[in-house]
Amino acid sequence: MLSKRIIACLDVRDGQVVKGINFEGLRSAGDPGALARRYNREGIDEVVILDVTATIEKRKAMARTIGAVAQEIFLPLCVGGGINDEAHADSAIEAGADKVSLNTAAIARPELLTALARRYGSQAVIVAIDAKREAGAFRIYVRSGRQATDRDAVEWAREAADRGAGEILLTSIDRDGTKSGFDCELTAAVSEAVSIPVIASGGAGTFDHFVDVFTAGRADAALAASIFHYAERAVVDLKQHLAGRGIPVRL
């Protein structure tokens, strides 16, 4: 049976892993290569690097970070954060990323998803969606959650899949950094609407939150950051917890 994936997110700024609450208030969590090495040892299924200060000047520094992480793992590696054209995606992939995730740029220029899918295959193209509950729907925000759009998360997820995205990285802005659990309603709504995998993100605080998002939330994978950063063995313990609840995982 296909395993539910556990993905560690490294939010990187200036070559260091940081983690914020509700997209703000960043604090340092250490060296990306060292964390990746530990996660690999603990049995993480995949690693995502998010460049939280992506600017053109920082691209070279980011390529070094991607290389340092890629050196430590023989697992799928996704890179996102400020990727806004093919050249930027190329530089991430050349540095060792297997997948790139697009957020603001995909909303602004959806044809970028198609162009990258043609070039690298859909499996290499992830659309990142940051959604917030508003008036009974899930509104998409861009620019790291700072700018509202008029797009609905479920409707955009369908379009992105049609345009060539191979997976959806779905973050609940309401839950991000709160440790109060994933937004299972949001995740299930998107997951049932598309035939591509959905990675749930935002709100992981306990192991049972993962159980919930894989059952009620219909998630194919779940991503977290701080729950793994600050506790040794968290990945192993989490997977054993999930296996004990009948959820297929790679042990």
CA-to-CA dists, residue 225 to 12, 47, 59, 200, 212, angstroms: 11, 10, 22, 12, 18
Q: According to CB under 8 A, which one of 24, 94, 111, 237 is a site residue for another protein?
A: 94
Least Å distance, CB 81 to another protein, is 19
Residue 182 is a binding residue for another protein (CB under 8 A) = no
Q: In Å, how far from its chain's centre is CA 63?
A: 18
Q: According to CB under 8 A, which one of 93, 102, 127, 154 is a site residue for another protein?
A: 93
Of the candidate spans 11-19, 72-80, 135-143, 174-182, the one that interacts with another protein by CB under 8 A turns out to be 72-80
Residue 122 is a binding residue for another protein (CB under 8 A) = yes
**Token output for 65:** 């970070």
Is the separation of the CB atoms in 11 and 24 below 8 Å?
no
Q: Which is nearer to another protein, 75 or 105 (CB)?
A: 75
Catalytic residues: 11, 130
Q: In Å, how far from its chain's centre is CA 68?
A: 19
Alpha carbons within 13 A on the beta-carbon side of 174: 16
Site mask, another protein, residues 4-43, x = CB under 8 A?
xx----------------------------------x---
CA-to-CA dists, residue 115 to 86, 99, 131, 163, 168, angstroms: 8, 14, 25, 9, 17
Q: According to CB under 8 A, which one of 24, 192, 208, 232 is a site residue for another protein?
A: 192
Q: Which is nearer to another protein, 54 or 100 (CB)?
A: 100
Tally of helices (H runs) and strands (E runs) in the chain: 10, 12
Interface residues with another protein (CB under 8 A) are 1-5, 40, 45, 70-71, 74-76, 93-94, 96, 98, 120-124, 166-167, 188, 191-192, 195-197, 214-215, 218, 220-221, 250
